[in-house]
Amino acid sequence: MLEAAGPAADGVLTTLHYGDGIETKRNNEFRLNYAKTFKMQPDVYAVQGYDTGLLLVQGANAVKGDVSQKAAMIKAMEVAVIDSPRGKWTMSKSHNPVQDIYLREVSNKENKVIGIAAKALADSGAGCRM
């Protein structure tokens, strides 16, 4: 979309839980390894998929691979701390990520992270549980 908008998009501000330009060792390594493996740059969906894998591994490890122990696996995932390319995050009581939200600005067809719009943003925990 930024390609199509061209220079007209410069200066547009957006927020999201991930930004390509998060300057951390974890994000830089993730982006490099992803690009080497898939011959393209990762997007927000790649990071979310990676995070899902990290969360599932923590749950499965807690039950020593016996995923039939659903309650114990869910409990382990509820208290997990995920060390993600987008920053560390945890789960809220309603099973949503408690995460930083980044402020991004479009510059030359790129969303550049310019700060954190909300630190450890969480929901009220009053939502439904699945």
| Domain range summary for the chain, segments of one domain joined by + | 2-121
**What pLDDT is recorded for position 124?**
57
| Nearest one of 21, 1, 23, 20 to 12, comparing CA atoms | 1
pTM of the full structure: 0.84
The CATH number of the domain covering residues in 2-121: 3.40.50.2300
pLDDT at residue 122 in the model: 87
Return contacts of 47-52, CB within 8 angstroms, 24+ apart: 47/18, 47/84, 47/85, 47/86, 48/18, 50/84, 50/85, 51/82, 51/84, 51/86, 51/89, 51/97
Predicted local distance difference test score (pLDDT) of residue 128: 46
**101, 121 contact by CB (below 8 A):** yes
Structure tokens at 13: 């501000």
Tokens 């009053």, located at residue: 126
Residue 109 confidence (pLDDT) = 83
Reduce the DSSP state of residue 43 to 3 states and report it: coil
CA distances from 124 to 15, 16, 52, 102 (A): 20, 19, 22, 20
Report the C-alpha gap between 69 and 44 in whole angstroms. Answer: 31
Q: Which residues contact 54 (CB under 8 A, 6 or more apart)?
A: 82, 83, 84
| Tens of pLDDT, residue by residue, the chain (130 residues) | 777 888 888 999 999 999 988 999 999 999 999 999 999 999 999 999 999 999 999 999 999 999 999 999 999 999 999 999 999 999 999 999 999 999 999 998 888 999 999 999 987 545 444 4
